[in-house]
């Protein structure tokens, strides 16, 4: 890894920060996804950090949620284990490379796939490949909750406009329906929710993405 992801998480300490506002929006969108259905839910979060966008929402949900979190950094994964235990939820926290399918392929299909803090760190080709793979990772009617920053330092995208707009286009081209897209006028984070009616039977590639920044 090239970035200090512990330092990145420190911005959460300021409740007024853009990152904290994004967190709140992700939680709102996850809660809305969970409220839309009935019955048990399988949730997979890739590059989950300490799981703070997922754990409290699942703890407050009316439905049973089977949670798998995948995070490369051992300390952040350990924080997720502690966070889940103190929230009273059972979570399968895996310390490993979320870009590699074998790290999580045994829990597929899932109803909710969280890709928060991923797309701004990978190439445009990897965004496309990950969205394409998501079509084979979801159960029918499953949702992806994703984020993308605009004006990310050393942004890996080749697109000149707001890169979140390209992510939206990629989901639509892959057959997803857009359920939500949040683009605050005064902040650079974007949060999207995309739903897939009919999953694909295409095989999932061995590797979806590698962080490039
Ligand atoms: C931008 S942060 C997002 C964290 C969390 N999803 C959030 O929104 O709070 C990216 C996270 O991905 C983790 N990460 C980087 N490369 C990874 C990989 N190949 N597999 C799993 N996690 C990775 C970092 O350690 C970091 O916690």
Give per-residue pLDDT as tens, 171-206: 999 999 999 999 999 999 999 999 999 999 999 999
Look up the pTM and report it: 0.98
For the segment 95-121, what is each residue's pLDDT rounded down to a tens digit?
999 999 999 999 999 999 999 999 999
User: pLDDT tens across 33-71, in order?
Assistant: 999 989 999 999 999 999 999 999 999 999 999 999 999
- Please provide the CATH number assigned to the domain covering 5-196: 3.40.50.150
Residues 125, 170: Cα–Cα separation, whole Å: 10
Q: Which atom of ligand 1 is nearest to the CA of 52?
A: 9
Token pair 């929230």 is found at: 87
> Measured from the CA of 98, which atom of ligand 1 is nearest?
20
- Ligand 1 midpoint to CA 159 (Å): 23
| Residue bearing the CA closest to ligand 1, atom 12 | 47
Domain boundaries, the chain: 5-196
Order of all β-strands in the sheet with 65-71? 91-95, 65-71, 41-46, 110-115, 138-149, 189-196, 177-182
């Amino acid at each position: 890894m090239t970035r200090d992801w512990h330092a990145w998480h420190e911005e959460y300490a300021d409740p007024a920060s853009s990152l904290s506002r994004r967190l709140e929006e992700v939680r709102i969108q996850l809660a809305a996804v969970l409220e839309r259905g009935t019955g048990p839910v399988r949730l997979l979060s890739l590059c989950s950090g300490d799981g703070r966008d997922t754990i409290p929402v699942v703890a407050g949900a009316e439905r049973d949620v089977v949670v798998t979190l995948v995070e490369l950094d051992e300390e952040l994964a350990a924080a997720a284990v502690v966070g889940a235990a103190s929230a009273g939820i059972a979570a399968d926290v895996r310390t490993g490379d979320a870009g590699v399918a074998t790290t999580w392929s045994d829990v597929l299909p899932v109803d909710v796939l969280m890709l928060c803090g991923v797309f701004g760190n990978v190439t445009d080709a990897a965004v496309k490949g990950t969205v394409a793979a998501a079509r084979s990772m979801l159960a029918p009617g499953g949702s992806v909750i994703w984020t993308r920053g605009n004006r990310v330092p050393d942004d890996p995208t080749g697109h000149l406009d707001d890169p979140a707009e390209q992510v939206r286009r990629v989901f639509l081209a892959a057959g997803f329906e857009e359920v939500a897209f949040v683009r605050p006028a005064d902040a650079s984070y974007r949060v999207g929710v995309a739903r897939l009616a009919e999953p694909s039977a295409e095989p999932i590639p061995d590797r979806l993405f590698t962080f490039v920044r």
